[in-house]
Amino acid sequence: MNIDKLIFRFAGAMVLISLALGYWVSPYWFWLTAFVGANMLQASFTGFCPLAKLLALFKVKPGAAFTD
């Protein structure tokens, strides 16, 4: 398992969870969906992802998308 796969799985899970919470609990949960989407967009331009930095601290094998 490398950082790229973990980040995509985490982002996908966060989007689906926040959509479910926004539908069944409170529409304010849609802000989490917006935050995840904005973070993915900025990471595509800058290459900086906070989760990638955190996973690198835990010595997770690097991938091709998020490198130093």
- Angle formed at CA 20 by CA 60 and CA 33, multiple of 5 degrees: 55
For the chain, domain boundaries: 3-57
C-alpha distances (whole Å) from 64 to each of 2, 3, 47, 60, 61 are 9, 9, 11, 13, 10
pLDDT tens for the 68 residues of the chain, in order: 889 999 999 999 999 999 999 999 999 999 999 999 999 999 999 989 999 999 989 999 888 876 65
> So what's the pLDDT on residue 35?
96
> So what's the pLDDT on residue 6?
93
